[in-house]
Amino acid sequence: MEIHPSLVIRSMLFGCILVIALTTFISANATSSLASQANSPQAVSMDTQGCEISAKFPPKVRRWCDLIEQYAHEHQLPPDLLAALIWQESGGNPSAYSRSGAVGLMQVMPRDGIAKNFQCPNGPCFAKRPTIAQLKDPEFNIEFGARMLANLARRNGSLREALKAYGPMDVGYSYADKVLGIYEEYGG
């Protein structure tokens, strides 16, 4: 069987055109996907140069640097302490959801979901808390958690006491000491 040279050239030309078309299509889809991600409320700058948070924290935590710094300063807390709390609570995962019903980066208990059934002496324990939907927003979660921790520090007189009150009720100071240990090891 004899192969005609013009057929080989046409086949190669068609193959090149196909490769160019596929590359253009893939590139256009990747660009539009990145653009839509950049405009989403979940988008966070990965540029951590100039970040006050210690470089020892993993990228999963440092990616929230801008929000951590903003709300740490607003509530007069050390940024590395908020980073340590986020590392302990969620590992930097904004979608974290605990068995007890805590939500988001700082694992705040919401007023709905599992937590709505928790009863305190005066009624539902978390009735004045935000909803799960609100706490899924990383910015809202960090701001609310930072404000809550700052209020606990003012009320209880120290960060250790504030962290004890912030953490699980049945663990005494072990939670506070763990977060403070991370804070000292990674940053503070």
| Domain CATH for 83 | 1.10.530.10
Residue 150 lies in a domain: yes
Q: Are residues 34 and 79 in the same domain?
A: no
Residue 134 lies in a domain: yes
Per-residue confidence band for 187, with pLDDT thresholds at 50, 70 and 90:
confident
Tokens of 95: 């979608």
DSSP 2: P
What is the rounded average pLDDT for all residues in the chain? 78
Q: Give yes or no for a contact between 135 and 141, defined as CB atoms under 8 angstroms apart.
A: yes
Q: Are residues 96 and 151 in the same domain?
A: yes
Size of the chain in residues: 188
Q: Are residues 66 and 107 in the same domain?
A: yes
Q: Are residues 161 and 121 in the same domain?
A: yes
Return the pLDDT at 111: 62
Note the pLDDT tens digit of each residue in 152-172: 999 999 999 999 999 988 899
Which residues form the domain of 86?
59-186
Domain count of the fold of the chain: 2
Note the pLDDT tens digit of each residue in 72-83: 999 999 999 999
Return the pLDDT at 75: 97
Q: Tell me the CA end-to-end span of the chain in Å, nearest whole number.
A: 78
Note the pLDDT tens digit of each residue in 83-96: 999 999 999 999 99
3-state secondary structure of 123: strand
- Amino acid in the structure at residue 94: P
3-state secondary structure of 97: strand
- Asked if the model's pLDDT at residue 8 lies above 50, the reply is no
- Interatomic CA distance for residues 48 and 51, integer angstroms: 5
Q: Are residues 88 and 177 in the same domain?
A: yes
To 10 degrees, what angle do helices 174-186 and 79-89 make? 120
Tokens of 39: 């405009």
Per-residue confidence band for 114, with pLDDT thresholds at 50, 70 and 90:
low
> What one-character-per-residue DSSP string does 133-161 give?
HHHTSHHHHHHHHHHHHHHHHHHHSSHHH
Q: Are residues 156 and 111 in the same domain?
A: yes
The mean-pLDDT minimum among 25-29, 55-59, 116-120 falls in 25-29
Residue 48 lies in a domain: no
3-state secondary structure of 108: strand
3-state secondary structure of 61: helix
pTM: 0.70
- Asked if the model's pLDDT at residue 49 lies above 60, the reply is yes
